[in-house]
């Protein structure tokens, strides 16, 4: 394992200061002595007759780092991401990002942490790409004055200009995936959680995703990417983990 994410033994280490200037939209939102993501002793059991899917997971993402977690199907990667995103609660354990919990400072947490779920859901079928982005920009409470510009920037950044007026239900799976990724990066989050982001993406789409990730890392954010164990992306990650029997094992 290289630097980047840390297991529980390193949680006592002094938190680093911000490595890169924050964007204006989040300046003042973040606590400077906080990590992009910190999971401590996270447990989750779906069925009381079965072993826990997550059995005391500790994970910390450091500033400006990329982390990959692999594992077999059903190992708990998606559950881990959903918990980290604040979508579902762990049975036990703590989740924090930038000093905030997903429920104690709900709105702030979700301004800073973005999650791309696996699959092709989460889109309004009958809205165009532009209206989709405009809608989610409003839900992200992006400043009204900056919102339109941000939507246009995102359309360009994800090569969606030609598709901007097209309805989502008339697009291919790969094009939809690109829209979903664009929606994830649209509010300029500081921590990005990706669940199998390469699904249906062509090589051009993968390049667009790479660019977005580099932008995130350059501004001091952090990335957590999950995919099945035999599907390690070509990216160079700062740390690689496997989720096995509910625990993270460093590679």
Partner 1 sequence: MSEFRGSARAFREVLARDLRVYLSYRSRLASQALTSVFSLTLFYYVSQLVHVSGFSSPGAYFGFVIVGIALVGVLYSCFSVADTVRQELIAGTFERLVLSPFGPVRSVIAMAVFPLLYAFTMAAFTLAFGWAVFGLQLHWQTVPLAIPAMALALLAFLPFGLAFAALTVVMKQGNVGTSWVIALISIVGGLYFPITLLPEWVQTAAKFQPFTPATEMLRHLLVDSPQATSALVTIAKVALFAAVLLPVSIWALRRAIREGQRRGTIIEY
Q: Does 167 bind partner 1 (CB under 8 A)?
A: yes
Q: Does 1 bind partner 1 (CB under 8 A)?
A: no
Q: Does 20 bind partner 1 (CB under 8 A)?
A: no
Q: Does 107 bind partner 1 (CB under 8 A)?
A: yes
Q: Does 143 bind partner 1 (CB under 8 A)?
A: yes
Q: Does 152 bind partner 1 (CB under 8 A)?
A: no
Contact 113, 189 (CB under 8 A): yes
Q: Does 87 bind partner 1 (CB under 8 A)?
A: yes
Q: Does 97 bind partner 1 (CB under 8 A)?
A: no
Instruction: Indicate the residue among 52 and 233 with the shorter CB distance to partner 1.
Output: 52
Q: Does 55 bind partner 1 (CB under 8 A)?
A: no
d(CA 166, CA 181): 17
Q: Does 140 bind partner 1 (CB under 8 A)?
A: yes
Say how many residues touch partner 1, by CB under 8 A: 39
d(CA 137, CA 143): 9
Contact pattern from residue 171 through residue 200 relative to partner 1, giving x for each residue in contact according to CB under 8 A and a dash for the rest: ------------x-----------------
d(CA 81, CA 193): 7
Q: What is the DSSP string of 167-233?
A: BGGGS-HHHHHHHHHHHHHTT--SEEEEESTTTT--HHHHHHHHHHHHHHHHTT-EEEEE--TT---
d(CA 178, CA 199): 10
Structure tokens belonging to residue 39: 């999971």
* Residue matched to tokens 């999971």: 39
Q: Does 164 bind partner 1 (CB under 8 A)?
A: no
Residues in touch with partner 1 (CB under 8 A): 44, 46, 79, 82, 85-89, 103, 106-108, 110-111, 114-115, 117, 119, 121-127, 131, 134-136, 138-141, 143-145, 167, 183
């Amino acid at each position: 394992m290289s630097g980047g994410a840390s297991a529980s033994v390193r949680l006592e280490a002094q938190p680093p200061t911000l490595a890169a200037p924050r964007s204006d939209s989040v300046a003042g939102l973040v606590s400077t002595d906080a990590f992009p993501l910190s999971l401590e002793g996270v447990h989750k059991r779906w069925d009381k007759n079965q072993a826990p899917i997550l059995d005391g997971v500790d994970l910390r993402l450091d500033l400006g780092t990329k982390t990959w977690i692999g594992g077999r199907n059903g190992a708990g990667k998606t559950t881990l991401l959903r918990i980290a995103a604040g979508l579902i609660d762990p049975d036990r354990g703590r989740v924090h990002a930038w000093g905030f919990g997903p429920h104690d400072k709900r709105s702030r947490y979700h301004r800073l942490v973005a999650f791309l779920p696996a699959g092709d859901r989460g889109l309004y079928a009958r809205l165009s790409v532009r209206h989709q982005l405009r809608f989610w920009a409003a839900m992200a409470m992006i400043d009204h004055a900056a919102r339109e510009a941000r939507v246009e920037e995102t359309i360009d950044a994800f090569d969606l200009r030609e598709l901007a007026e097209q309805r989502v239900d008339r697009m291919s799976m790969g094009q939809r995936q690109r829209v979903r990724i664009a929606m994830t990066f649209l509010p300029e989050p500081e921590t990005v959680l990706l669940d199998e982001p390469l699904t249906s993406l062509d090589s051009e789409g993968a390049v667009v995703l790479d660019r977005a990730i580099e932008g995130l890392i350059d501004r001091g954010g952090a990335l957590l990417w999950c995919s099945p164990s035999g599907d390690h992306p070509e990216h160079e990650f700062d740390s690689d983990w496997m989720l096995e029997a509910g625990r993270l094992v460093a590679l």
